[in-house]
Amino acid sequence: MDESSTPGTSAREIGAREIGAREIGAREIGAREIGAREIGAREIGAREIGAREIGAREIGAREIGTREIGTREAAHRLGVKTATLYAYVSRGLITARRTPGGSRFDAAQVAALAARGRSRPAGAVETVASELTSLDGDRLRYRGRDAVELSRTTSFEEVARLLWSGTATAGPLRRDEDLTRRVGDVLAGLPAATRPPARLRVAVAVAGALAPAAPEAGPEAGADPEPLLAAVLGVRTSVAEAVDEALGAPGRWGPALVLLADHGLAVSTVAARVAASARAPLPSALSAALGAAGGPLHAGAAAAAHRFLEQVLTDGPARAVAARRLSQDGVPGFGHVVHTARDPRAEELLDALPPGPVADVVGPLVEQVVRAHGARAFPNVDLALAAHALAHGLPADAGEFVFEVARTAGWIAHALEEYHAPGLRFRVRGLQQTSHGT
């Protein structure tokens, strides 16, 4: 039996319902046809509006290509300060025509440069283009110049300027005598037991507080690294001598400072760039880098290598390596996440160790580690820093301090370069995860 009918229902009633149903169906079909026509009209209208917008943009583009704009308008369209605009000019990113009324900029060039800055949305940075440092086949170069060769012939100050400006100019860092004195006064008030890495962090923070950048000028306008670094390190003659003074013993750290001046986009360098991308002033970028560097997996790794070398000197290479293998711990000071076959920085520094027990034990130690862990377990720069510190009777954190002082050159160079990139481009997007725990 049809579930839509009941006993006693007449044929006329059933027919009436069927006719009504057909009428309702016709009305629904008609409504759908009317809706389709309305949707089609809207789509046609949208296309017409889109065509008009595209036409307007094309007309605007033709107008831009035929006119010039002033400095203030160019800076506004690029979303930068005037100082940054002229930095773009000096770097050849855009050209300016001098006139009696001021500089004039081609509007098409400005639009093209602005489009480059918007081409990658915030949070989508996966690679960072840089002119500073390259690592090709385990060979480290600063602006195309071999780092090992530079460490043999060039001072840290020259290499720092090479990274900052492209020119390796000799001479001591320029000093701001008042800033240097005031930072020194604060450091003198710290407890005597304060270690050099901690003092370095305090010095950077104090220098930033005493010489704040003018917000209206932008951090790149007042980013003069020389007096800042001279004040932070208390430099009187050279950075190498300032390091010796801070550590309390001569360590011949000049080559190490050059070899560690930069190493591409290490985690601390990325931290400096992230701060600079938010247009934080230079001392703040340095503080961000120091915060990332201080962990045991980065600059602090030299301290673990130092303690391991002490064990090697006590127990001998074979027993020390066997103990690490039994504990399933890695061997501090060996292998690298970027270098694949060798760390030329470590080789250079280990070859320069002064004669003594440390120099005597390094060779047998390397042989034991390679025998136990394979050729990829080559000595890295953490081992070299630890070996030099131990050979000169310095504590475990000496290597960390030397690393961080050296890397200030690279951190500053990357921050200066980042000031000319689109702001906030490291805004990472998070992926929400649902916890399945109870």
Whether 192 and 106 map to the same domain: the answer is: no
Residue 287 contacts residue 208 (beta carbons within 8 Å): yes
Q: Judge whether residue 19 has pLDDT over 60.
A: no
Task: Quote the radius of gyration of the chain (alpha carbons, Å).
Answer: 33
Categorize the per-residue pLDDT at 422 as very low, low, confident or very high, splitting at 50, 70 and 90.
confident
Residue 306 contacts residue 386 (beta carbons within 8 Å): yes
What per-residue confidence (pLDDT) applies to 26?
42
For 99-116, the pLDDT digits (tens) are 888 899 999 999 888 876
Whether 206 and 108 map to the same domain: the answer is: no
What per-residue confidence (pLDDT) applies to 396?
97
Minimal CA–CA distance to 383: which of 315, 322, 437, 312? 312
Whether 233 and 377 map to the same domain: the answer is: no
Mean pLDDT of 134-160: 97
What per-residue confidence (pLDDT) applies to 6?
38
The three-state secondary structure class of 96 is: strand
Residue 282 contacts residue 213 (beta carbons within 8 Å): yes
What per-residue confidence (pLDDT) applies to 101?
84
Whether 148 and 211 map to the same domain: the answer is: yes
The length of the chain, given as a count of residues: 438
Contacts of 277 (CB under 8 A, 6+ apart): 418, 421, 422, 423, 424, 425, 426
Residue 8, in any domain of the structure: no
Q: Judge whether residue 390 has pLDDT over 80.
A: yes
The boundaries of the domain holding residue 310 are 301-391
What per-residue confidence (pLDDT) applies to 154?
97
What per-residue confidence (pLDDT) applies to 90?
67
Categorize the per-residue pLDDT at 86 as very low, low, confident or very high, splitting at 50, 70 and 90.
confident
What per-residue confidence (pLDDT) applies to 310?
98
Categorize the per-residue pLDDT at 125 as very low, low, confident or very high, splitting at 50, 70 and 90.
low
Minimal CA–CA distance to 84: which of 120, 107, 114? 114
Contacts of 267 (CB under 8 A, 6+ apart): 292, 293, 298
- pTM above threshold 0.85: no
Mean pLDDT of 387-400: 97
Residue 206, in any domain of the structure: yes
Residue 257 contacts residue 404 (beta carbons within 8 Å): no
Residue 263, in any domain of the structure: yes
Q: Where are the alpha helices (DSSP H) in 65-176?
A: 71-78, 82-90, 107-118, 147-153, 156-165
Instruction: Name the residue with tokens 């009777």.
Output: 393
More confident residue, 14 or 155: 155
What per-residue confidence (pLDDT) applies to 25?
46
When mean pLDDT is compared across 30-34, 73-77, 80-84, 293-297, the lowest value belongs to 30-34
Mean pLDDT of 359-388: 96
Handedness of CA 333, 337, 341, 346 (dihedral sign): negative
**Taking all residues of the chain, what is their mean pLDDT, rounded to a whole number?**
84
Residue 402, in any domain of the structure: yes
Query: Residue 247 is encoded by which pair of tokens?
Result: 């550590």
Minimal CA–CA distance to 385: which of 411, 366, 410, 358? 358
Categorize the per-residue pLDDT at 53 as very low, low, confident or very high, splitting at 50, 70 and 90.
very low
| Alpha-carbon gap, residue 194 to 411, rounded angstroms | 24
Q: Judge whether residue 46 has pLDDT over 50.
A: no
What per-residue confidence (pLDDT) applies to 102?
87
Whether 315 and 287 map to the same domain: the answer is: no
Residue 425, in any domain of the structure: no
For 300-331, the pLDDT digits (tens) are 999 999 999 999 999 999 999 999 988 777 89
| Number of domains comprising the chain | 4
Contacts of 167 (CB under 8 A, 6+ apart): 161
Whether 54 and 82 map to the same domain: the answer is: no
Which CATH number belongs to the domain containing residue 319 in this structure?
A: 1.10.230.10
More confident residue, 76 or 180: 180
More confident residue, 379 or 72: 379
What per-residue confidence (pLDDT) applies to 82?
80
Categorize the per-residue pLDDT at 367 as very low, low, confident or very high, splitting at 50, 70 and 90.
very high
Residue 436, in any domain of the structure: no
Q: Judge whether residue 164 has pLDDT over 70.
A: yes
Whether 232 and 276 map to the same domain: the answer is: yes
Residue 59, in any domain of the structure: yes
Whether 295 and 305 map to the same domain: the answer is: no
Contacts of 264 (CB under 8 A, 6+ apart): 130, 132, 133, 134, 135, 338
Mean pLDDT of 122-151: 88
The three-state secondary structure class of 24 is: helix
Helix axes 107-118, 11-64, angle to 10 degrees: 130
Residue 176 contacts residue 287 (beta carbons within 8 Å): no
Residue 163, in any domain of the structure: yes
Number of H helices, E strands in the chain: 19, 6
Q: Judge whether residue 132 has pLDDT over 80.
A: yes
For 323-365, the pLDDT digits (tens) are 998 877 789 999 999 999 999 999 999 999 999 999 999 999 9
Residues 385-412 as b or e (16 or more Cβ within 10 Å = b): bbbbbbbbebbbbbbbbbbbbbbbbbbb
Whether 35 and 98 map to the same domain: the answer is: no
What per-residue confidence (pLDDT) applies to 217?
55
What per-residue confidence (pLDDT) applies to 88?
81
Which CATH number belongs to the domain containing residue 283 in this structure?
A: 1.10.580.10
Handedness of CA 77, 81, 87, 89 (dihedral sign): positive
| Alpha-carbon gap, residue 40 to 48, rounded angstroms | 12
How far is the CA of 431 from the CAs of 34, 404, 428, 434, in angstroms?
43, 33, 10, 10
More confident residue, 12 or 287: 287
Whether 386 and 401 map to the same domain: the answer is: no
Q: Strand 102-106's sheet: what is its strand order?
A: 68-70, 102-106, 96-99
Mean pLDDT of 276-285: 94
Whether 113 and 142 map to the same domain: the answer is: no
Whether 285 and 313 map to the same domain: the answer is: no
